Each structure stands twice: as C-alpha cells, then as structure tokens.
Amino acid sequence: MPHVITQPCCSDGSCVYACPVNCIHPSPDEPGFATAEMLYIDPVACVDCGACVSACPVGAIAPDTRLEPEQLPFIELNASFYPKPDGKLPPTSKLAPVLEAPLVRPRSGGPLTVAIVGSGPAAMYAADELLTQRGVRVNVFERLPTPYGLVRAGVAPDHQSTKRVTKLFDKVTALPGFTFYLNVDVGSDVTHAELLAHHHAVLYAVGAPNDRRLDIEGMDLAGTGTATEMVAWINGHPEFTDLPVDLTHERVVIVGNGNVALDVARILTTDPDVLARTDISDHALATLRDSKVAEVVIAARRGPVHSAFTLPELIGLTSACDVVLDGGDHDLVIGDLATATDPLTRSKLEILSKLADSSTPSARPRIRFAYQLTPRRILGEERVQGVEFTVTGGTSRLRGRTDEVRRLDAGMVLTSIGYRGKPIRDLPFDDAAGVVPNDDGRVLDAGRPMRGSYVAGWIKRGPTGFIGTNKSCAGETVHNLVDDYNAGLLADPGKDRAKPAALDKLVRRRRPDVVDAAGWRAIDTAEIARGGDERPRDKFTTVADMLAAAADAPAPSMRDRVLAGLRR
C-alpha cells in the first residue's frame, strides 16, 4: 500500500527529509526541484511507514487505498516519474542531505535581530529558519492587519488543503523571539534605514505583487482586469473588495493559461452552493449566485504543448468542471501528442485529447481551452463587448501569425500572463527582471553587497515555483545572512535601539493601530466563529472590521507582562 502525493502538494520538501528510504523526489538537493510541478513518491521503494503524511503541511499525501475517485490519477502520475521496474529496487541508501540549521555565534552586543518585511510563505519560512537558533529575535512587518500573503489572498477558496500551510506558520508565530507588526507599511510608517538602526539585518520577502499587463487597444475599458485581481476579490482582500465585477454576460475570456487562469475559470463555473462551504468572500459569493456566465474561454498564444498550467491543476480542473475543446484545437492536441517525449507533457496532452467537443451541449457553465490566439484588441466603447485575436498558423512548434482574425464576444476580459516585482523604497531594483538585484539573497547595489539588506521569495528570484519552493529559497538567504553576522559584516544596532521596547515605541508612535500576534489571533478566532459549522471561516474584508476584531484581543497576563518587561 504505497503512499501517493496528490494535487495540494506545496513542494516544500518536508516529506523528503521525513522519508527514511529516500523515495520522494526531486529532493531539494536535486536539479529540477525549484521548478518541479510537485513531488513524487516511488511506489516500488515506499515502505508505507507514513512518516511523510505527518510531515506534509498541506495534507497532500495519503495511502493509495484511501484516495478519493478524483485523486486516482495521481497513483499513475507518481509512478510515471520513475523508471519502469526492471526487477531491481531503486537506489534508496543515500538519503537526501538535510541542510543544517544556520549556527549563530553569540556576540557581546546582544542577540541577532532581524526585521522581515512581508508575511507570506517566504517570510514565514525565513522566520522559522532563523528561530531554530536560541536567542534570535525576528520582527515581521506586514502592511495589512492579517498575515500570510498569497496563501490567504491568492489561493483559490476551493483549495482549502493548500491553505493548511498556515497552521505551520501559526506555530512559527508562537516561537520565542517572534513578534508581529501587522498593519505597518515599511517605507511609509517606518523606513529601511530606521529598521536597520534597530536590527542587524532587514530581509524583504514581499513577493511580486504587480501583474504583467497586455499593451493592446481597449485594455482600459470597463470589464477588463487581471486574473490576479479577480482572485484577490474572490478571497476578500481589502484592497479589492470594491472591484467592479460584472457577470451579466454569458462569456468571460481569460488571456493566458497558467494555474491562476484555471483557478478563476473554475470558480466562475462552480456551483455557488459548493463555494458556500469555503472561505470565499460574501460579496463574491453573492455576485456568483446571480452570474449569467455560461462559458469561460481560456485563450493561449501558443499551442497545447506549451500549456502553462501544471498537470496536477489540470487533473483537478477536469475532475470538477466541464472542460471542452473546439475541433481545431483537438487536432492541435493530437498533433502535439504524436511528437511529445516528456512524460509530464504527454500526460497533459493525453488529458486534453479526451476532452469533450465544444459542440456538445452542456447543462452547466463550462470552460473552453483555446489555442494559438494572440490578442489584438479589446472591443467595445465604454465597456468590453468582446476581444479580437490574430490566429497563429502552423504547428505548435513551427508557428507564425496568419491574416485570420477571430472575434469572441465577452462581457469580461481578464489577463493572466504573469507577475513582476515592484521597486522597494531605498533598495536598488532591476526593472528588466522585476527583482531586487542580489547574490543568493544578499542585496547588490552597483554589484556590491548592500550591508544588512537581504531578499527571499519572488522579489529575489522572480515569480517561479510554488508555495513550498520558498522554503529552500528562504533557507539559502538566511544561511548567508547568518554567515555575514558571524563574520562581523553586520552592524550592531545602537545600544539605545537594541532593546525591543525602542522599536515598539517607534512603531506605535507612527502607527498607533498596529496589530500584534494577539490581535491577529483575535481576528482569526472571530473569522472562524463567523464561519460556523458550514465554512472554515467568514473573512473580514475591510481594514476597519479587522482592526475592530483585533481590538477584542484579551489583555496579556501578568506572566506575559513580566516576560515582556524582562525583554525590554
């Protein structure tokens, strides 16, 4: 009874280190780990010990006999990653090397103190790595009153398993030395220089919050937007609560076919009664109940072989939704399948080849994949009425634009063509790459390390990988930060600024409504209570409501006040 990794896999590698027989790959030390769509268990080598199940932060692993019907394809998917059995067991003697925790050498000036800007996966994994060492202090700054970044606001509400990683992050926030400064905007409320004055180092893990935009006529019309904005609206992000979402037209077109495009298409075509059991925002659920959308078209510039979505997401989509292809696109799939050699690509194409024809009537809203369509302009006067594409001719591999123009009527056009970072005040920025220039996490200014300044996550490496990929990325940065500290390359904060009380006084003077860990727990508890028995939580979607809930946090106990006084 081998275990199987399924769709929610976050690729953080915890299961790899827990496995006693090295049967989970790719491991963090192997090529391809950073870009792998998921991790895979070798069914021949698996000894059914269950250690990986306990280690997985998102509940993605189960015995093959306990899978739901829609998860059964993952049995073959896990096995297909490995060579076919030839009578010999795969090599299992060499375990994946566990990266040693960064050993901090104490200094007389006080403990290592680090400010982390951002509270998403990269930030929380970095905090976790730092706090493996006793005495280290980590202060995490987040501009919203709620933490965890894209896990809270960017993961689709029907992917609750993926959101389980926040349970791990909650444990990090309870570690000695961890402090939250939520509802604080670094760069506005406090500056980079001020943080450096109170810390040995400042680590930015702010992601890549900007969408790449299509530069075509009509992208300023009402009814245009991005899939990322749509997901934030669906999830109740306070900055997107008032997004004008009009679902009174029968068709929505999404340009781009990555996982976020699939998320939006799936939500727009899912029964609202099913979504009502998730943490979807109330305003999004109400709009979806009145939706007239009958079809979501996911349009891609290139052919099926270049589809950007991952295989696990495709499996999940086709098991939950009606997905179709036009006859011409089906022919493209068959043509690509005949020449594809990569196993994962072949698996994608095989699933696509079995999709129903779009001419088949559908009793419920459906999703249609469309290929070789390059957006030319958005049609409409005051708001979107459709989108015009140039058709790409030839095969998926040998293609060129034709003179054929195709129009799709639509009431909403969303783009999903990638992300890019945005400049951070007082730090250098590589505008072409959309990242802060760095050497393995050390910020570079004119090619030289910028003292005490570090990056992790998408602002470091660009928008690649998955939630768990940030673990190894953050680990690399933290190791280099600690090496610099041990080598005496980081300046000690001034004596009057080294104590937590000095930073706390500064922040609260600038931002009186700062939210601490207790305030976040009060928000979290209130949201879960609002969800009742039917929903995991009912989110607050305005900053004012979040702050009101945080204000109900219980006062610290006498013991906590004494300990806080000792820290000061």
Q: What confidence score (pLDDT) does residue 399 get?
A: 53
3-state secondary structure of 15: helix
- Residues paired with 297 in a beta bridge: 253, 368
In SS3 terms, 353-378 reads as HCCEECCCCCCCCEEEEECCEEEEEE
* Mean pLDDT per 10-residue interval, the chain, length 568 residues: 91 91 88 88 90 94 94 92 60 55 85 97 97 94 97 95 95 96 98 96 94 90 96 97 96 97 98 97 98 98 96 95 96 96 92 95 94 96 96 62 88 94 96 96 96 97 91 95 96 83 95 97 97 96 98 73 51
Enter the DSSP assignment of 12: -
Q: What confidence score (pLDDT) does residue 321 get?
A: 95
Q: What confidence score (pLDDT) does residue 70 get?
A: 92
Considering the entire predicted model, what is its pTM?
A: 0.92
Strand 412-415 with 251-255, pairing: parallel
Distance CA 433, CA 439 (A): 14
Q: What confidence score (pLDDT) does residue 71 get?
A: 94
Locate CATH 3.50.50.60 in the chain. Answer: 214-417
Q: What confidence score (pLDDT) does residue 557 get?
A: 59
Tell me: the pLDDT tens digits for 273-332? 999 999 999 999 999 999 999 999 999 999 999 999 999 999 999 999 999 999 999 999
Vertex 527, ends 523 and 528: CA angle to 5°? 120
483-515: b (≥16 Cβ within 10 Å) or e: ebbbeeebebbeeebbbbebbbebbeeebebbb
Q: What confidence score (pLDDT) does residue 261 get?
A: 97
Amino acid in position 520: W
Locate CATH 3.30.70.20 in the chain. Answer: 3-80
Q: What confidence score (pLDDT) does residue 559 get?
A: 55
39-75: b (≥16 Cβ within 10 Å) or e: bbbbbbbbeeeebbeebbbbebbbebeeeeeebebbb
**Max alpha carbon distance in the chain (Å)?**
76
State which CATH number among 3.40.50.2300, 3.30.70.20, 2.40.420.20, 2.40.128.260 fits the domain covering 3-80.
3.30.70.20
Distance CA 115, CA 506 (A): 14
CATH number of 113-209+420-515: 3.40.50.720
Please say whether the beta carbons of 441 and 460 come within 8 A: yes
CATH number of 214-417: 3.50.50.60
Q: What confidence score (pLDDT) does residue 395 get?
A: 52
Q: What confidence score (pLDDT) does residue 99 get?
A: 66
